[in-house]
């Protein structure tokens, strides 16, 4: 409500990290964080979609509120997000086909990334202004990328370690995520 | 007729055990970790998701022959979003306290990979009854997954179950369990347990074989 | 990790023959109609129940901070006047609740405020009485603070004692509070407008202080000069 743009960015990036504190964007977090060179572009693509979604959601909300059609909010948000993802796909396919292929099925899956819809829903619930909304989505996307990159770095290192058979795979990723989340709790209160 | 029944039963059980969304397919992670701070929240979320799953799959299956391939994903999403909106209002009408506890994750059911995945993989290719039964099984499996987390986190992190205090006032709750890291640790532990159990079965089966050949 | 699959739509469009546009539009229209019907009927069907729930929750919250009150009226106030709330809040208006006793006399007013705490926003409702120009109680409307730590604001007796007579006087110009409501470190409270934070739960305590301060600064300068207009329930 009365938070400054800087406070919002820092908070969404660290203290209320989308993945490690708010549990948004977990499916790609557990799925794409195996390698650093796919994790980072995925984070950037998601951040871009978040910014577009945030902008469109703000405009849509103004429109729907003016006509008292709030019950159409969810449907219109998700349709806008699906379209934004299509746009990003087309742009990537044209300008960076290698990256497009590397991200593969995970690119259209950004549509079902809770973090993107989450940005739209949270900014509406908190009644942010346009500047606050964009700051929120930027910080959130950056936080998502940060968590993804951290996870990928650790997992790459672990591939050379002697992990017990029962713990391999998703169980290990989850334990790692828990430790990362624990660490990020130390940022509590940062950003007002 | 009994063959049909056993096939329906298989459809139902598939979602509960062999293709359990939480423990086997690792889908729908966001709500699984976020709302399982208490058993009550876990079960409510599970029921809400099951409702959306069953009705969406039913409608999608009924329309499977008229939906054009090019726009099918968009149409599935719109149908799912419709039922999520309905559930959202239903929960508000039932209990505002529950609505506040589940928060934004009710509306986030729309992007729960389980539903879209089921629609694409199953409902779009099967008649309504098997589609609905399969969806029901998946929803039940998901609810079981949520409950197993919610029960553990609530008992350890708050000393209660469904709001009923178990250990009395002197119990020092393991607060981390109801915080984000706890969610990750508990789910990781469950997966570890299942992996260990599967390995043990393998070892015992191998030992039995060796004995048979010896 | 190299995944060769292209997005499903691309392969589908390439493989099968395209659906004629007319059929596509008809299907999209049909889907929109069905979905629209479901959404609108569920919205209308639950509307009265949802509004009733919200009303009950609000009343319960106000009666908790102003225990002698028996009924409430929701008002909106602007620099030019006070009126009962009807639908949309006009720009620059602030809404609040007037709480009346059995005889229809104004017992106090209550208003909501919110500020970011450790988790998401902490929303509080506080009660204010004109005779002492002070906050007389607060309740939490919604919060997502750490159980066992942040949620102590609900039960900690010393913290709650802060709000029995929290000074919220207006300054001489009636443009804002004479002294802003502030949360101070545990054990350092010296003034009547300060809130002693809970040791170990500073962030949540600060959120409560900020929420009350922000709301009071916006509301009281508008309402207090016009309180006579709502002294008795109309």
pLDDT tens, C200-226?
Answer: 888 888 889 999 988 888 888 888 888
pLDDT at C15: 41
The Cα-based distances of C131 to A45, B127, C107, C226 in angstroms read 58, 71, 10, 14
pLDDT at C10: 45
Strand partners, C115: C122
Candidates C50, C52, C60, partner chain B, best to mutate (most B CBs within 10 A): C50
Q: What is the mean pLDDT of residues C48-72?
A: 87
C121 interaction partners in chain A (CB closer than 8 Å):
1, 126
Predicted confidence (pLDDT) per residue in C94-109, tens digit: 888 888 888 888 888 8
B85 to C39: CB separation less than 8 angstroms, yes or no: yes
Any idea which of A130-134, B108-112, C43-47, C89-93 has the lowest mean pLDDT? Answer: C89-93
- Residue pair B41/B47 in contact by the 8 Å Cβ criterion: no
Q: What is the ipTM of this complex?
A: 0.84
A89 to C7: CB separation less than 8 angstroms, yes or no: yes
B63 interaction partners in chain C (CB closer than 8 Å):
27, 30-31
| Residue C234: pLDDT band with limits 50, 70, 90 | low
Predicted confidence (pLDDT) per residue in A127-170, tens digit: 889 999 999 999 999 999 999 999 999 988 888 888 887 777 88
Q: What is the mean pLDDT of residues C15-40?
A: 80
At B17, is the secondary structure helix, strand, or coil? coil
Q: Which residue is associated with the tokens 């007002």?
A: A192
pLDDT at A138: 95
* Pure H helices in B17-127: 29-34, 39-62, 72-94, 96-102, 113-121
Angle subtended at Cα C88 by Cα C66 and Cα C73, rounded to the nearest 5 degrees: 25
B184 to A177: CB separation less than 8 angstroms, yes or no: yes
- Between A32 and C222, whose confidence is greater? C222
Mapping DSSP onto H, E and C, the string for A120-165 reads: HHHHHHCCCCHHHHHHHHHHHHHHHHHHHHHHHHHHHHHCCCCCCH
Predicted confidence (pLDDT) per residue in C171-200, tens digit: 888 888 888 888 888 888 888 888 888 888
Q: Range of A74's domain?
A: 5-182
The Cα-based distances of C148 to A130, B157, C200, C201 in angstroms read 36, 10, 11, 10
- Residue pair C70/C98 in contact by the 8 Å Cβ criterion: no
Given a cut of 50, is residue C5 above it in pLDDT?
Answer: no
- Between B2 and C131, whose confidence is greater? C131
d(CA A107, CA A100): 8
Given a cut of 50, is residue C6 above it in pLDDT?
Answer: no
Given a cut of 90, is residue C157 above it in pLDDT?
Answer: no
Which tokens in the block code for residue A9?
A: 């960015």
Average pLDDT by consecutive 10-residue portion of chain B (214 residues)?
73 80 82 87 93 93 85 87 93 87 86 87 87 91 92 88 79 83 91 88 87 78
- Which segments of C57-193 are extended strands (E)? 71-78, 81-84, 94-100, 106-116, 121-129, 134-142, 166-167, 182-184
d(CA C92, CA C80): 11
Which of C214, C232, C233, C216 lies closest to C224, judged by CA? C216
Which tokens in the block code for residue C19?
A: 């659906």
Neighbours of chain A (3+ CB pairs under 8 A): B, C
Predicted confidence (pLDDT) per residue in B87-139, tens digit: 999 999 998 888 888 878 898 899 888 898 888 888 888 898 889 999 999 99
C35 to A75: CB separation less than 8 angstroms, yes or no: yes
Candidates C140, C147, C155, C200, partner chain B, best to mutate (most B CBs within 10 A): C147
Which of A119, A121, A132 lies closest to A1, judged by CA? A132
- Between A177 and C233, whose confidence is greater? A177
Residue A50 C-alpha, separation from nearest chain B C-alpha, in angstroms: 15
Given a cut of 60, is residue C4 above it in pLDDT?
Answer: no
At A180, is the secondary structure helix, strand, or coil? helix
**pTM of the full predicted structure?**
0.83
C17 interaction partners in chain B (CB closer than 8 Å):
none
Residue B161: which H helix or E strand, with range? strand B160-161
pLDDT at B2: 66
Structural domain count, chain A: 1
C38 interaction partners in chain B (CB closer than 8 Å):
82-83, 86
Structural domain count, chain B: 1
Neighbours of chain C (3+ CB pairs under 8 A): A, B
Tell how strand C194-196 and strand C182-184 pair up.
parallel
């Amino acid at each position: 409500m009365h938070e400054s743009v800087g406070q919002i960015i820092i908070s969404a990036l660290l203290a209320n990290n989308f993945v490690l504190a708010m549990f948004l964007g977990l499916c790609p977090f557990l799925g794409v964080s195996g390698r650093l060179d796919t994790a980072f572009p995925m984070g950037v693509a998601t951040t871009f979609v978040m910014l577009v979604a945030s902008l469109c959601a703000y405009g849509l909300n103004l429109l729907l509120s003016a006509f008292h059609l709030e019950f159409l909010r969810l449907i219109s948000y998700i349709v806008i997000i699906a379209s934004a993802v299509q746009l990003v796909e087309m742009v990537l396919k044209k300008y960076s086909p290698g990256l497009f292929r590397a991200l593969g099925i995970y690119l259209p899956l950004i549509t079902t990334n809770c973090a993107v819809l989450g940005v739209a829903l949270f900014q509406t619930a908190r009644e942010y202004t346009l500047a606050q909304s964009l700051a929120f989505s930027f910080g959130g996307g950056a936080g998502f990328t940060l968590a993804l990159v951290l996870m990928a770095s650790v997992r790459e290192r672990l591939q050379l370690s002697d992990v017990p058979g029962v713990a391999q795979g998703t169980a290990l990723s989850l334990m790692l995520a828990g430790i990362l989340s624990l660490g990020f709790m130390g940022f509590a209160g940062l950003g007002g | 007729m009994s063959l049909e029944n056993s096939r329906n039963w298989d459809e139902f059980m598939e979602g509960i055990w062999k293709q359990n969304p939480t423990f086997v397919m690792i889908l729908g992670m966001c709500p699984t970790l976020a709302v399982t701070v208490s058993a009550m929240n876990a079960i409510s979320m599970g029921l809400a998701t099951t409702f959306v799953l069953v009705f969406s799959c039913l409608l999608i299956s009924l329309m499977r022959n008229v939906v054009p391939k090019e726009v099918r994903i968009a149409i599935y999403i719109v149908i799912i979003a419709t039922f999520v909106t309905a559930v959202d209002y239903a929960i508000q009408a039932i209990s505002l306290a529950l609505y506040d506890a589940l928060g934004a994750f009710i509306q986030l059911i729309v992007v729960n990979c389980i539903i879209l995945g089921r629609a694409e993989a199953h409902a779009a290719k099967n008649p309504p009854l098997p589609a609905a039964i399969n969806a029901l099984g998946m929803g039940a499996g998901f609810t079981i997954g949520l409950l197993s987390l919610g029960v553990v986190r609530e008992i350890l992190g708050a000393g209660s179950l469904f709001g009923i205090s178990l250990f009395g006032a002197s119990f020092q709750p393991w607060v981390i369990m109801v915080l984000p890291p706890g969610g990750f640790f508990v789910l990781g532990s469950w997966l570890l347990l299942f992996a260990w159990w599967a390995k043990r079965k393998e070892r015992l089966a191998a030992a039995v074989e060796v004995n048979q050949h010896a | 990790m190299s995944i060769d699959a292209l997005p499903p739509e691309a392969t589908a469009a390439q493989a099968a023959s395209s659906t004629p546009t007319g059929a596509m539009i008809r299907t999209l229209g049909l889907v929109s109609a069905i979905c629209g019907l479901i959404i609108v009927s569920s919205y209308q069907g639950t509307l009265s129940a949802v509004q009733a729930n919200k009303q009950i929750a609000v009343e319960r919250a106000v009666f908790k901070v102003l225990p002698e009150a028996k009924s409430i009226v929701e008002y909106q106030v602007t620099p030019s006047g006070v009126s009962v709330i009807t639908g949309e809040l006009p720009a620059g208006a602030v809404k609040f609740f007037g709480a009346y006793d059995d005889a229809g006399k104004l017992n106090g007013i209550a208003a909501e405020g919110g500020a970011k705490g450790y988790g998401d926003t902490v929303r509080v409702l506080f009660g204010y009485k004109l005779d002492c120009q002070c906050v007389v109680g607060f309740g939490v409307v919604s919060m997502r603070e750490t159980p066992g730590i942040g949620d102590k604001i609900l039960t900690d007796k010393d913290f709650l004692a802060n709000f029995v007579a929290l000074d919220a006087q207006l300054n001489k110009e009636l443009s804002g509070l004479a002294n802003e409501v502030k949360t101070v470190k545990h054990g350092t409270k010296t003034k009547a407008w300060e809130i002693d934070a809970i040791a170990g739960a500073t962030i949540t305590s600060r959120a409560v202080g900020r929420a009350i301060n922000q709301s009071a600064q916006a509301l009281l300068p508008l309402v207090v000069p016009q309180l006579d207009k709502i002294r008795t329930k109309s």
